Amino acid sequence: MMRIAIVDDEPLARSGVATRLAAYADVDIVGEYGDGASALAGIRALAPDVVFVDVQMPDMSGIDVLAALAPHERPMAILLTAHDQFAVRAFEFNAIDYLLKPVDDDRFAEALDRARTALPYRRREANAPIDAPDPPKTWQTRFEVRVGRRVAFVDAHDVTWIEADGDYAALHGDEHTYLLRESLARLALVLDPSKFVRVHRSTIVRVDCVADLQPLSNRDALLRLKDGTPVRASRTYIESLLCALRSVGGV
Partner 1 sequence: MTTTVDRRAAMPPFWLALAAGLPIGACMIVMALPVLGHGHATAYRLLYLALFALWAVPLTALQRALWRSRTSWWIASLALLATTYTMSVANNALGDAMAWLAGWPSTRPFAWTDLFAGIDSCWLALIAFCAIHAVVAYYAAFNHAEAQRATALALARDAELRALRYQLQPHFLFNTLNAISSLVAAERNRDAQQTIARLGEFLRATLEANDDHEAALAEELALTETYLAIEKARLGDKLKLKWDVGPHVLRALVPHLLLQPLVENAIRHGIAQRSVPGRLDIRIARDGERLAVSVGNDGAAPGSTSAQAAERSSAIGLRNTAERLEKLYPGDHAFVANARADGGFDVRVDLPYREAPMPAAGA
185 by DSSP, 3-state: which?
helix
CA distance 119 to 129: 13
Calpha distance 229→222 (Å, rounded): 10
One residue of 1, 174, 230, 240 binding partner 1 per CB under 8 A = 230
**Considering only CA atoms, which of 60, 65, 239 is closest in space to residue 48?**
65
Nearest distance from residue 140's CB to partner 1, in Å?
A: 26
Angle in degrees, CA 221, 140, 172, rounded to 5: 45
Q: Is residue 180 a contact residue for partner 1 (CB under 8 A)?
A: no
- When asked if residue 201 is in the footprint of partner 1 (CB under 8 A), the reply is no
Choose the stretch contacting partner 1; rule: CB under 8 A; options: 50-58, 95-103, 117-125, 154-162: 95-103
CB atoms within 10 A of CB 93: 19
- Residue 207, judged by CB atoms within 10 A of its CB (0-12, 13-18, 19+), counts as buried
Q: How far apart are CA 141 and CA 135, in angstroms?
A: 15
Q: Does 214 bind partner 1 (CB under 8 A)?
A: yes
Instruction: List the one residue from 1, 41, 46, 88 that touches partner 1 (CB under 8 A).
Output: 88
Q: Which of 173, 235, 245, 248 binds partner 1 (CB under 8 A)?
A: 235
Indicate whether 228 belongs to the interface with partner 1 (CB under 8 A).
yes
Closer by beta carbon to partner 1, 113 or else 220: 220
Across the strands, what pairs with 205? Answer: 161, 197
Near partner 1 by CB under 8 A: residue from 84, 158, 192, 208: 84
Task: Give, as ranges, the residues between 17 and 76 that touch partner 1 (CB under 8 A).
Answer: none
Site for partner 1 contains 148 (CB under 8 A)? no
Chain residues that interact with partner 1, rule: CB under 8 A:
83-84, 88, 100-107, 211-212, 214-222, 224, 227-230, 232, 235, 238
